[in-house]
Chains A and B, each alone.
Chain A
Amino acid sequence: MSEEQEVVTVVKAPVYLKYNFTAGAAPARFLAQIKKGVLTGQRCPKCSAVYVPPRGSCGGCGVATEEEVVLSNKATVQSFTIVYIPIPNNPIEPPYIIANVVPDGANISFIHLMSECVNEDVHIGARVEAVWKPKEEWDFAMDNIRYYRPIDEPNVPVDQIGKLPVTGLEG
């Protein structure tokens, strides 16, 4: 063994999984609405739960969901995390907040980015609203919503998170 050369201690062993992702009927309708700047969910005919993004069926009742419901741009923070570790190829500079937000009118949350906020002030039950990209940039993509930002409204009590009507707190 040559002594001038360094001993091998590591190998690069990346794994790349190549998918062709097909949205499916319900997500395709959801994305078509997103392209128009509208956030929609689907309501279960049995338990009335509103799902967003819709998958076309209710996980709890096992029935198809067809009724589409336009949701609010306002939402409530259900949970969140402050990200401190940079993720390769992610242009967002840490620390930033990833939150589970429930839009008014829906009963489940989805994950999105928060901005225009003081990270330390974000809390469960905080009221937020969607900030959309300029209309010209709208595509079949969730990042048409650039991020959520805090709004000046009272906190939602924990037991009310995910239960607000589409009209929000006053509704």
Chain B
Amino acid sequence: MSQPDVLNQAFELGYTYTRSTGPVIGRFLTELRNRNIVGIKASDGRVVVPPMEYDPNTAEELSEFVEVGQQGEVVSFAWVKEPREAHPMDVPFAWAMIKLDGADVPMIHCVAAASEDAIATGARVQVVWADETIGYMTDIRCFELV
């Protein structure tokens, strides 16, 4: 019997998860839909963004939401030269840890910049909202340099 040609087939495995947010992340996402960013105050007074449900030190339930600024500072970043299909932007961009004004810990998001040289640690950035906000992390389309 002759050996057939190599057999190839595209195959997509999809897990169509719907995740429950819980009350704290639910509040955060609800605020995003309204174009606000909220963090939560921990027992040591730090404002944590995105908010977490339990205190990092005492494990107590947290509930004191704090609105933070829509501008912040790049704490660190990684430049993505060749964005992949799943990435939030289709041109080169930066993943960055951004400490929003009024927050005490940085939050990861993407930063639009003309080139790798245009962004630096300490750079000021501000939120760019999506045209339509739906209560999802991508309501923040990206951050841009101020």
Contact = CB atoms under 8 A, between A and B. Distances in A.
A11 B15 contact: no
Nearest to B7: A23
Interface residues of A, number: 29
Interface stretch (A26-34, A111-119, A124-132): A26-34
10 contacts: A10-B21, A11-B21, A14-B17, A18-B10, A22-B8, A23-B7, A25-B3, A28-B6, A31-B4, A88-B16
A13 interface: yes
Nearest to B134: A8
B40 interface: no
Given A7-B30, A14-B17, A23-B8, 4 more contacts: A13-B19, A16-B14, A20-B10, A21-B8
Given A19-B10, A19-B12, A10 B20 contact: yes
A1 interface: yes
Contacts of A25: 3
Interface of A: 1-2, 5, 7-23, 25, 27-29, 31-32, 68, 88, 140
Interface of B: 1, 3-21, 26-27, 29-31, 33-34, 36, 135-136
A14 B14 contact: yes
A8 B26 contact: yes
Contacts, number: 92
A85 to B, nearest CB: 14
Contacts of B26: 7-9
Specify which of A8, A12, A17, A19 lies most central, judged by the most chain B CB atoms within 10 Å of its CB: A8
Contact of B11 (A7, A12, A19): A19
A10 B33 contact: no
The 3 closest A-B pairs by CB, nearest first: A8-B135, A23-B7, A8-B29
A35 B118 CA distance: 58
Contacts of B29: 8, 11
